[in-house]
């Protein structure tokens, strides 16, 4: 029974990580520009960031929900950020591809910071965890900060494994594209650009309706 917390944590994290988001796109882009090994720092740090968000949602879901509702500039900032980055990818997809060069040295610390910050500074994911935990409490099992330490540790371990497993899949996908012709990379940049712009439009509509 206790393993259910591990499996359910992994399931919720995987479902939340499947849609294209900032971390997914950073992993894909890094695996294309460098290699799959270079994404490991981003993936592992993003997994820790996901645990932080789940813990915050578990500990103070009502307060966080009210905070984002009262500070709408945070949502607006992320909408604008997704839109600008999407436009950048669309622009880079239309530029002629550069000649093959040795990639500059990337410090692991910068990738750790990138993975962690992109995972943590993401209001939609916080809202996702608030909803997921609420539904879990209502339909599956009791999940609060008052649960035993062992069950919470298993739940957070499941979240970590689900997050890094899904991101690793995206990294492998980007790596396969990197092994193909340059035109495939251009198409991927265009897909990423369209995805980010679509996300920003969807979030804008949701923000206006709410």
DSSP 8-state secondary structure symbol assigned to residue 97 = P
> pLDDT value at position 94?
61
The SS3 of residue 191 is helix
Identify the CA nearest to 29 among candidates 197, 170, 181, 182: 170
For 165-206, the pLDDT digits (tens) are 999 999 988 888 777 655 555 666 676 677 667 767 776 776
pLDDT tens digits, one per residue of 120-169: 887 778 878 888 887 787 777 788 788 888 899 999 999 999 999 999 99
**pTM score over 0.85:** no
Q: Using CB atoms within 10 Å of the CB of residue 99, give its burial: 0 to 12 exposed, 13 to 18 middle, 19+ buried.
A: exposed
Is 52 a residue whose pLDDT tops 80?
A: yes
- What CA–CA distance (Å, rounded) separates 139 from 126? 20
Quickly state the pLDDT bin for 47 (edges 50, 70, 90): very high
State the chain's mean pLDDT as an integer. Answer: 77
**Alpha-carbon gap, residue 186 to 32, rounded angstroms:** 11
DSSP 143-206: --TTS-HHHHHHHHHHHHHHHHHHHHHHHHHHHHHHTS-HHHHHHHHHHHHHHHHHHHHHHHHH
* 100-109 pLDDT, tens digit each: 444 444 455 6
Per-residue pLDDT for 75 more than 90?
Answer: no
On the 0-12 / 13-18 / 19+ scale of CB atoms within 10 A, 103 is: exposed
Hunting for tokens 């592992």 — which residue is that? Answer: 44
Which residue would you say has higher pLDDT here, 200 or 28? 28
- The yes-or-no verdict on residue 96 having pLDDT over 80 is no
């Amino acid at each position: 029974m206790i393993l259910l917390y591990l499996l359910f944590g992994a399931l919720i994290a995987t479902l939340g990580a499947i849609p294209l988001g900032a971390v997914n796109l950073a992993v894909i882009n890094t695996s294309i520009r460098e290699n799959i090994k270079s994404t490991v720092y981003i993936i592992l740090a993003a997994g820790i960031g996901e645990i932080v968000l789940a813990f915050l949602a578990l500990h103070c879901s009502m307060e966080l929900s009210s905070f984002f509702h009262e500070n709408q500039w945070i949502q607006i900032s992320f909408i604008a950020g997704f839109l600008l980055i999407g436009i950048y990818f669309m622009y880079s997809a239309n530029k002629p591809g550069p000649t093959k060069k040795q990639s500059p040295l990337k410090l692991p610390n910068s990738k750790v910071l990138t993975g962690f910050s992109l995972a943590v500074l993401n209001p939609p994911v916080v809202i996702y965890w608030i909803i997921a935990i609420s539904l879990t409490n209502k339909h599956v099992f009791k999940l609060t900060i008052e649960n035993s330490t062992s069950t919470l540790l298993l739940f957070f371990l499941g979240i970590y494994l689900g997050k890094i497993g899904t991101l690793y899949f995206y990294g492998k996908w980007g790596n396969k594209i990197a092994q193909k012709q340059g035109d495939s990379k251009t198409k991927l940049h265009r897909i990423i650009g369209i995805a980010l712009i679509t996300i920003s439009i969807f979030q804008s509509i949701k923000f206006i309706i709410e």
